């Protein structure tokens, strides 16, 4: 079993179908460090410690610290991938609308479909000896459409080698935030496509419209509402959503009110004039091919000028009836 400061790091540890950290963990399992000073660090973080590379804080190192040896240079692409993922997680609200996330190795994927009729949703009594009602689960006829989202790093190594990693991290996190916003846009498009639409009852969006939406999504639970910017302002302006407790919470923490108990999420990419209501527990599946992909060979060789960073992912509805839209 290799100890962390004796592992040979190289390009071949990328592009294996597993992440760089997973490869390291196989060579240097974290469980071997329980109750030691390195407890709590994963295999990649131990390699940063090995080469004394500080990636955050006011005493963070410069980018060039990664390239002090050929071994330490192999750590740079994983630093880029991790930082981009951090940006995605900070910006992303997908975790609040996904029922499931599936990671695949290829680019072809068919989800399962089970959308029962109104009669099939009823749990009627079954006589002795009679057949139980059936729930049909089948493979989707169509492949899930996967979109490649990403950015190209356009900067010479000479331009960034003396930059603090703490500052460079900000730039990479913004790339992650961009990818997350694009993925949310893809998710919204899938949710809206083919969803049953309800048109508002009056000239302006009213609380009664939300009640109608709540009733329409039954027997599923209305626990999440996605709203574009104009929809957020209309909802937050409703007198029913301006009670003192909700107002204090919103002004103090920025936490949105919960109309009818549903979590209200701001989706700037959503179509203006349309609210999306869903049961997050069964509405949407995210399918992702691998993780954050970087041009690791270019990054290791300090060819940052045309180094791409991307994620391949798509979305599919699991129970189409668990999504409704409201046009106002």
Q: How many CB atoms lie within 10 A of CB 252?
A: 8
Q: The whole model's pTM is what? A: 0.84
Sign of CA dihedral 7, 10, 12, 15: positive
- And the tokens for 44? 């990649």
Q: What is the DSSP string of 58-75?
A: TTPPBGGGGGSSHHHHTT
Which of 260, 223, 222, 226 minimizes the C-alpha distance to 241?
260
**Helix (H), strand (E) at residue 317:** strand 307-317
Quote the pLDDT of residue 1: 45
| Local confidence pLDDT in tens for the 328 residues of the chain | 458 889 999 999 998 888 999 999 999 999 999 999 999 999 999 999 999 999 998 899 999 999 999 999 999 999 999 999 999 998 789 999 999 999 998 888 888 776 666 666 566 677 777 777 667 777 777 889 999 999 998 889 999 999 999 999 999 999 999 999 999 999 999 999 999 999 886 778 888 999 999 999 988 999 999 999 999 999 988 887 766 555 455 555 555 567 888 999 999 999 999 999 999 999 999 999 999 999 999 999 998 888 999 999 999 999 899 999 999 9
- And the tokens for 182? 């694009």
Q: What is the rounded distance in angstroms from the CA atom of residue 170 to the CA atom of residue 296?
A: 20
Sign of CA dihedral 213, 219, 224, 226: negative
Q: What is the rounded distance in angstroms from the CA atom of residue 154 to the CA atom of residue 132?
A: 61
Q: What is the rounded distance in angstroms from the CA atom of residue 214 to the CA atom of residue 225?
A: 10
β-strand partners of 224 = 263, 278
Q: How many CB atoms lie within 10 A of CB 42?
A: 15
Q: What is the rounded distance in angstroms from the CA atom of residue 41 to the CA atom of residue 48?
A: 10
Is-contact 181 150, C-beta < 8 A?
Answer: no
Is-contact 285 251, C-beta < 8 A?
Answer: no
Q: What is the rounded distance in angstroms from the CA atom of residue 242 to the CA atom of residue 236?
A: 7
DSSP, collapsed to helix, strand or coil, labels residue 313 as strand
What torsion do the CA atoms of 285, 92, 327, 240 make, to the nearest 10 degrees?
120
The 10 Å CB-count burial string (b at 16+, else e) for 2-29 is: eebeebebeeebbeeebbbbebbbebbe
- And the tokens for 74? 């192999």
Quote the pLDDT of residue 48: 97
Q: What is the rounded distance in angstroms from the CA atom of residue 315 to the CA atom of residue 281?
A: 15
* Helix intervals (H) in the chain: 20-27, 43-50, 70-73, 76-91, 118-121, 157-160, 165-192, 207-216, 229-236, 244-253, 296-300
Which of 175, 266, 176, 278 minimizes the C-alpha distance to 217?
278
């Amino acid at each position: 079993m290799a100890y962390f400061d004796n592992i040979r790091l190289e390009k071949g540890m990328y592009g294996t179908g597993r992440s760089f950290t997973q490869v390291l963990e196989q060579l240097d399992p974290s469980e071997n460090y329980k109750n030691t000073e390195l407890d709590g660090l994963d295999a990649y973080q131990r390699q940063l410690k090995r080469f004394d590379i500080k990636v955050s804080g006011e005493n963070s190192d410069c980018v060039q610290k990664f390239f002090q040896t050929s071994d330490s240079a192999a750590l740079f692409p994983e630093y880029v991938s991790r930082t981009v993922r951090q940006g995605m997680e900070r910006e992303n609200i997908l975790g609040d609308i996904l029922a499931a996330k599936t990671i695949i190795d290829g680019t072809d994927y068919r989800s399962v479909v089970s959308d029962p009729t109104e009669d099939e949703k009823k749990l009627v009594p079954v006589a002795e000896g009679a057949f139980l009602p059936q729930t049909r689960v089948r493979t989707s006829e169509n492949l899930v459409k996967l979109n490649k989202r990403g950015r190209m790093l356009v900067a010479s190594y000479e331009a960034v080698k003396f930059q603090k990693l703490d500052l460079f991290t900000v730039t990479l996190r913004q790339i992650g935030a961009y990818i997350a916003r694009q993925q949310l846009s893809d998710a919204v498009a899938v949710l809206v496509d083919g969803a049953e639409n309800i048109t508002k009852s009056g000239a302006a969006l009213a609380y009664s419209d939300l009640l109608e939406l709540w009733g329409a999504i039954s027997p599923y639970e209305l626990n999440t509402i996605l709203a574009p910017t104009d929809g957020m302002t209309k909802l937050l302006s409703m007198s029913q959503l301006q009670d003192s407790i909700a107002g204090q919470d919103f002004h103090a923490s920025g936490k949105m009110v919960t109309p009818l108990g549903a979590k209200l999420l701001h989706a700037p990419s959503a179509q203006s004039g349309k609210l999306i209501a869903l049961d997050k527990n069964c509405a949407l599946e995210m399918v992702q091919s691998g993780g954050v992909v970087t041009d690791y060979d270019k990054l290791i060789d300090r060819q940052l000028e045309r180094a791409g960073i991307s994620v391949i992912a798509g979305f599919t509805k699991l129970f189409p009836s668990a999504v409704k839209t409201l046009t106002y």
